[in-house]
Amino acid sequence: MNRIDQKFQEDHKLLSIYFSAGHPRLEDTVPILKNLQAAGVDMVEIGLPFSDPLADGPTIQKSSTKALRNGMTTDHLFSQLEHIRKDIHIPLVLMGYLNPMMQYGIEKFCKKCEAIGIDGLIIPDLPVDVYHDEFKTLFDQYGLYNMFLITPQTPEERIRYIDKVSNGFIYMVSSASVTGAKNTFGNTQTTYFERIANMKLNTPTVVGFGISNRETYETATAHSKGAIIGSAFIQFLEEKGVAQIETFIRSLRE
C-alpha cells in the first residue's frame, strides 16, 4: 500500500511540512527530514526549486532562488535522497514545476522516484486533463501518486472530476492566492472549508497555503484531514535553523 494511503488511515489530523530542498544550506535536506520526522510530522513535501515559481509568493520565491544559488539540481536532490528510506518512514512527496522534470525526462524522473521511495508528486502547473492524457500511465507504472489542487474558485463539477481521478489526497488551496503565510483565516475561508467538507468527497483533503500557526492550523483541520505548512516553516528555518525544528512543530500542536 502507498505510504500516503496508510498514513491517511490513521485516526488523527495530519501535519505536513513543505520546504525548498537546498535551502537554507545545500546539504540541509536530510537533516531537515530527520528532524521533521522526529518531531512527529506526518508527511513532508520536498520542494524541487525552480527559477520561475509562478504559484509561489515571496518567501518560496526567495528560498528557491537561494537553493539554486547554493547549487541544488534535480540530480543532486536525488543523490541526497538515495538512501533516505533507511531512516525516514513517513510519506514523502516531491513538489515542483513541470519544466525541470521534463528536462530530466519524465520517465527517468518517475523511475528515480520509485527507486528512492517517493510516494507522490505535486506539480502545480500540470493540469488534470494533461496529466490524465499524457502522464498517468507512467505514474501508475512507477507507483507514484499525483495530487491535484482545488481553490475557492474551482467549480463544483470540476471538484467532482478531480475527486474521481485523484489518489492520495486533494490539496485544498486555502484562498485565491499564491503561497505565503497568513496570521488568520476569515469567514470566507471557513465557509469554503465547510462547503468542501459537505461535498463528502471520496478523496481526503489537506489544506495548504497561508497556514502559519496553531490558530490557522486548527481552523484548516477542523473540516479536513490535515494541513500543509510551507512559507512559515521556511521563515522559521531561516531565522532559527534546522536544530530548532522541534520547537516550531510543538508550537503548532502538542
235 binds another protein (CB under 8 A): no
Question: Whose CA is closest to 227, among 204, 244, 254?
Answer: 204
- Of the residues 5, 11, 42, 45, only one is catalytic, namely 45
Q: Which listed residue (5, 10, 28, 56) is catalytic?
A: 56
d(CA 118, CA 181): 26
d(CA 187, CA 11): 27
Q: Using CB under 8 A, pick the residue from 57, 85, 138, 238 that binds another protein.
A: 57
Q: In sequence order, what DSSP letters do the residues of 8-64 get, joined into one string?
A: HTSSS-EEEEEEETT-SSGGGHHHHHHHHHHTT--EEEEE---S--TT--HHHHHHH
| Annotation marks residue 119 as catalytic | no
- Restricting to residues 23-52, name those near another protein by CB under 8 A: 50-52
Mark residues 105-124: x for contact with another protein by CB under 8 A, - for none. Answer: -------------------x
- In whole angstroms, how close is the CB of 83 to another protein at the nearest point? 22
Burial 179-205 (b: 16+ CB within 10 A, else e): bbbbeebeeebeebbeebeeeebebbb
Residue 78 binds another protein, judged by CB under 8 A: no
Please confirm, yes or no, whether 107 is among the known catalytic residues.
no
Nearest residue (CB) to another protein, 61 versus 216: 61
Closest approach of another protein to the CB of residue 215, in Å = 22
Identity of the residue, 125 or 246, whose beta carbon is nearer to another protein in the bound complex: 125
Q: How many Å apart are CA 103 and CA 111, to the nearest integer? A: 14
Among residues 16, 35, 59, 61, which is the contact residue for another protein, using CB under 8 A? Answer: 61
Q: How far is CA 170 from CA 21, 121, 205, 214, 216, in A?
A: 23, 12, 5, 22, 19
Q: Which three cell numbers stand for residue 53?
A: 515559481
Number of chain residues interacting with another protein (CB under 8 A)? 38
Q: Which is nearer to another protein, 90 or 206 (CB)?
A: 206
Tell me which residues are annotated as active site: 45, 56
Residues found near another protein in the complex (CB under 8 A):
50-52, 54-55, 57, 61, 65, 68, 73-75, 97-104, 124-128, 130, 148-151, 153-155, 158, 173, 176-178
